[in-house]
Amino acid sequence: MDLAQLSPTAGTYHFMKEVFPAESYFSYAEFGIYKGDTARHVCELFPNATLFLFDFEENIARAKTALAAHAHRIHFFPNSQRYNDSYNWSLGKLIATNTRGGIFDYCFLDGAHTYAVDALTFFLCDRLLRVGGYMDFDDYAWTLRGSSLDPAHVPQIAEQYTEEQIGTQQVKMIVDTLVRPDPRYEEIVPKKIYQKVA
């Protein structure tokens, strides 16, 4: 299957089907779950996977209902809508209490898509990702401009970001400046999936 032809999220679970046997035990973290559609696919495809799901409180509450049948193997991490809150705070607390070293085999980063939030998310995930595990970045070419957050629709965006930032592909910036140059990461699916090799 040509993963480049699939939507980014379908590309995620189709790739996972290629690398994880259906009955395998592994841990999957998703940052930005929205309605939990990708998480549901992961639950259904991998009955022994453990999931760590991060998003705003409202979306986590909805996912708890939608994924109730799988609740015994899902850890939920809600955060508030406060301006400087994000899944990075939840990750920081997880790192603070974690005594087991690497705990994630797969991290799907599909949340803010901004450098201010997700550059840090990459470094925090790296702390928790096992060697051999994967970092998966959604939407390499995404920009604030033209998205549902375009300042034409959401004027606060123009107060929070510069014109340059609004027009910059910020996921691309994270991948190109932080992930690709790191010799511990190997590009597996171009512009999307990187394996931690050391």
Phi-psi map region of 114: left, alpha, beta (phi>0 left; psi -120 to 50 alpha) = beta
| Among 8, 12, 60, 13, CA closest to 32 | 60
| Among 88, 89, 73, 6, CA closest to 39 | 73
Asked if 79 touches ligand SAM (CB under 6 A), the answer is yes
Report the alpha-carbon distance of residue 60 to residue 3 in Å, rounded: 28
Question: Which span (16-24, 29-37, 151-159, 187-195) binds ligand SAM, by CB under 6 A?
Answer: 29-37
Question: Which span (51-59, 67-75, 165-173, 181-189) binds ligand SAM, by CB under 6 A?
Answer: 51-59
Out of 50, 51, 110, 128, the residue judged to bind ligand SAM by CB under 6 A: 110
112 vs 128 by CB, closer to ligand SAM: 112
Out of 27, 50, 86, 170, the residue judged to bind ligand SAM by CB under 6 A: 86
Beta strands in 16-172 (DSSP E): 27-31, 50-56, 74-79, 104-109, 129-137
Interacting residues with ligand SAM (CB under 6 A): 9, 30, 32-34, 37-38, 55-56, 59, 79, 86-87, 110-112, 117
